[in-house]
A and B are shown apart, each in its own frame.
Chain A
């Protein structure tokens, strides 16, 4: 139980997927212009990331590993993720029209979001068990949502500010991300402290 708390804290704050692991920066710059699209993208990522990590964990441990095919990991994982995104899209379209309306446009973008493939690979690399992998994936995605919301909030306020022309758009977004990463630096080492407290 305590281990799960540490994994969650570490994935959301200490090793934030966007600000410390450098994964998923394309949507971070692209979909952070306003809060409502940031919510849509964030929720869609939580949804897909959790399902994708569960699916790839099962495939790795029950198909690739027993057959000694783990060198095919990259190809198999990306295909599984692409298929899964399509399935989720069909499923939502059929069964949750309202949700599909709000998340629809973000779903296809997620296939090439490196956060999804990155977390799936990291869950295998860290040799988490199934439950821990799912917890890790959901927490990483929650960290993604947190950072994306902060960025969207800041950028909404930037709209009214006069910026030097060359800095407009992606340039200022990256610099803000740098300052946010600096703030998240304050959490560094806290996961290690927590785990040493838990084990003594």
Chain B
């Protein structure tokens, strides 16, 4: 967490009668400095909302636009966004930084190390590792991002509703999730992906979403169950707030952190899962190039040609890093206690 910029004109904290918890939290405790819990003064100052540009008297912006304001000044957010923009550019136009053809392979160079014009060396088939790593971005990032978004949105939505309303809907959803948990990936992949075949990445994305949502749903359900116990939610209920308002304004922002954490890590595991599916013969089909395929091809050769693993795995790490950082920044921005 970066040190916040000094605020030249601290404004009085805004007060929202619907958020008693928030209102209470701004009372300075004066104890933070003594604690070993990293509650230093600078951070508690952060909770004081800076004035909006050109509108010092702006009143009660929505929580989500608060978050956006917070985000824009967070260097972690800026850095991770730049990284993601770069990765997306590569995914769309790989030829920007790689001139070769990822399918042009010469077996004579099998597993050779780096050579002029081939900085990362060659893989088992004698293909250029650099070109394949660059070209692999498209399929891998599409699979990773779309599958994560799909699973996270579906899981968070269903899990959130189940946790918030409880009762038979919760029971039904949770038991359906239990059945989904029980389906072995290998079996599900072989059945689902041999029925739905296509040359695009979408069947793979769909399958990963199908497999991934129950976990996020359970995480979301768990944190919604905790969040809805909070005083401010009970207070909002007593004040007659609608379910939708309570869920969106009070519960969701306080329950979203674990979902973001799990989703950003899942992004990496989903890209790796695509490799498992390809290894089983049901994942992405050639001539599609992906990091997953290259990583799974390189894994058994680790003793002979570690460079084959290093580059695609490094690219995967970089992507996951970018999204973990983004997730952290978004989570911080959404957490009223950290402001």
Q: Indicate, yes or no, whether A interacts with B.
A: no
Q: Chain B: residues with CB nearer than 8 A to chain A?
A: none
